[in-house]
Amino acid sequence: MPRRTMIEAIRDAMDVSMERDSKVVVFGEDVGFFGGVFRVTHGLQAKYGKSRCFDAPINESGIVGSAIGMAAYGLKPCVEIQFADYMYPAYDQLTQEAARLRYRSNGDFTCPIVVRMPTGGGIFGGQTHSQSPEALFTHVSGLKTVVPSNPHDAKGLLIAAIEDPDPVIFLEPKRLYNGPFDGHHDRPVTPWSKHELGEVADGHYTVPLGKAAIRRAGSDVTVLAYGTMVYVAQAAAEETGIDAEIIDLRTLLPLDLDTIVASVKKTGRCVVVHEATLTSGFGAELSALVQENCFYHLEAPVARVAGWDTPYPHAQEWEYFPGPARVGRALVETMEA
């Protein structure tokens, strides 16, 4: 099976979708001729023409707002916001329009759009190239929120998102674009070609939204993670020797609660890990759900390892980013609690 980077896998997902359905259109800043600042849309304009893949003015609200109008017409836009940090001008369109259109019109109009945005830190991106705003989407009824962690899932989830009849926020951890990253910034990074999840089948396949994946089976403690933190958690488990069960959530909303609850009821312990800031982050929802559903099985408080409640700094990258040492400490403390 061919191996692809996450960039290639996401591009392939759009290629497959555009080939299969002439209603799929792709646009955003620098997405057309140039092929995207991360090369994710490279070649799509040459293959499908400017009517299917084109450059947009630097106006996030305009990109999402026009995509909503296209979806109301009957197209299936898959648009790009260059960095998740720059989605805020589009927040009104995403949360009040895309998310509500089906509900408020009783299905008279619908909004089958996908909004792709590179997310996450670990790249010395500073304050406006590192944010993880997923909690701002999961809090909005009517939006689905997806965060893939590997090329195989990225392609399957993106095709599923494009085919989904509702708006999907597709957050791409840019730290994982070229290879998995476990937080050991002082070691060489392995490319996806060396990783089994870099195997990406040709053609059409989907990974269903709303289904988590168990990345490492274990019996001591359940780790709930997504995106880059999946690899950090794996490294932390190896280094501490704790037999952690690591669940890659893949879709934050709808959430695969059944997989989470079954795991925590088995292990009796749970650590939640994300890059986003702690307070009111998605980890708070996960922690609350675990407590509500697994209270009598819990042998320790649910722990959260997250970014600090500060803007994402530049020089202090590795003190901010929740690396394997911090996650490992949380695993040890949870086992000792």
Partner 1 sequence: MADAGMLRFHVPEPEVRPGGTPDFSNVTLAEAGSVPRPDIDVDPRTIRDMAFSIIRVLNRNGEAVGPWAGLLSSEELLEGLRNMMTLRTFDARMQMAQRQGKTSFYMQHLGEEAVSCAFRKALKPGDMNFPTYRQAGLLIADGYPMVTMMNQIYSNEADPLKGRQLPIMYSSKEHGFFSISGNLATQYIQAVGWAMASAISNDSRIAAAWIGDGSTAESDFHSALVFASTYKAPVVLNVVNNQWAISTFQGIARGGSGTFAARGLGFGIPSLRVDGNDYLAVHAVAKWAAERARSNLGPTLVEYVTYRAGAHSSSDDPSAYRPKTESDAWPLGDPVMRLKNHLIKLGVWSDERHAQAEAEILDTVIAAQKEAESHGTLHAGGKPSTREMFEGVFAEMPPHLRRQRQQAGV
Could you list the residues that contact partner 1 (CB under 8 A)?
A: 25, 51-52, 56-57, 59, 61-62, 65-70, 72-75, 89, 92-93, 96-97, 100-110, 141-142, 144, 164-166, 210, 253-255, 257-258
Give 7 or 98: the residue with its C-beta nearer to partner 1: 98
Q: Which is nearer to partner 1, 10 or 70 (CB)?
A: 70
Q: What's the min distance (Å) between Cβ of 110 and partner 1?
A: 7
CA dihedral 262, 263, 265, 269 (to 10 degrees): -160
- Do 311 and 111 meet the contact criterion of CB atoms below 8 Å apart? no
Asked whether the bond before 167 is cis by omega within 30 degrees of 0, the reply is: no
Q: Among the options 129, 204, 274, 314, which is catalytic?
A: 129
Select 58 or 337, whichever has its Cβ closest to partner 1. 58
Q: List the one residue out of 128, 122, 171, 116 whose CA is nearest residue 149.
A: 171
Taking the complex as a whole, the smallest distance from the CB of residue 69 to partner 1 amounts, in Å, to: 3
Residues 39, 81 contacting (CB under 8 angstroms): no
Nearer to partner 1, 165 or 301 (CB): 165
Count Cβ atoms below 10 Å from residue 288 Cβ, excluding itself.
11
Comparing CB distances to partner 1, the nearer of 103 and 124 is: 103
Our answer to whether residue 129 is catalytic in this structure is yes
Least Cα distance to 307 among 135, 147, 170 occurs for 135
Q: Given the complex with partner 1, which of 178 and 293 has the nearer CB atom?
A: 293
Residue 42 Cβ vs partner 1, minimum distance, rounded to whole Å: 21
Tell me the closest approach of the beta carbon of residue 30 to partner 1, in angstroms. Answer: 15
How far apart CA 256 and CA 69 sit, in angstroms, is 31
Catalytic positions, written as ranges? 129
